[in-house]
């Protein structure tokens, strides 16, 4: 079975441009999480969805960030306009609530560089 799939793996853009990161969770998983990883802050939860509904977006840095999950097999994280401080690795993870064990399955991440 395929794991969590993220695209693009690498993105280099200029300040002010729009960035869209994509995620396909594991089929059947009902939770989807977006994390950001930086050297300074480590892993930060940005937002998570349950059954395609955003549950907690308190970790989203500011209004420039938005996330959607139009269906159970796809989610996007958008940054508009992007800034150099947004440079980080963004991870998507999914989980199956039925286990309720906290086990997350992570994608390989999208490395974003904003110049």
Partner 1 sequence: AQSVTQLDSHVSVSEGTPVLLRCNYSSSYSPSLFWYVQHPNKGLQLLLKYTSAATLVKGINGFEAEFKKSETSFHLTKPSAHMSDAAEYFCVVRYQTGANNLFFGTGTRLTVIP
Query: Could you tell me the smallest distance in angstroms from the CB atom of residue 95 to partner 1?
Result: 7
Binding positions for partner 1, rule: CB under 8 A: 4, 31, 33, 42-43, 45, 48, 50, 55-56, 91, 93, 95, 97, 100-109
Query: Could you tell me the smallest distance in angstroms from the CB atom of residue 109 to partner 1?
Result: 6
Backbone angles phi, psi at 86, to 5 degrees: -85, -5
Among 76, 108, 99, 92, CA closest to 32: 92
Q: How far apart are the first and last CA of the chain?
A: 37
Q: Which is nearer to partner 1, 79 or 107 (CB)?
A: 107
């Amino acid at each position: 079975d395929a794991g969590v799939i993220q695209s693009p793996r690498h993105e280099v853009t200029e300040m002010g441009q729009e960035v869209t990161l994509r995620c396909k969770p594991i089929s059947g998983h009902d939770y989807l999480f977006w994390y950001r990883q930086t050297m300074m802050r480590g892993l930060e939860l940005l937002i998570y969805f349950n059954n395609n509904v955003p549950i907690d977006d308190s970790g989203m840095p500011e209004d420039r960030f938005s996330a959607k999950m139009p269906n159970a097999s796809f989610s996007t994280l958008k940054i508009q306009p992007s800034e150099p401080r947004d440079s980080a690795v963004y991870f998507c993870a999914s989980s199956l609530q039925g286990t309720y064990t906290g086990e997350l399955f992570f994608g390989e991440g999208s490395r974003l560089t904003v110049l």
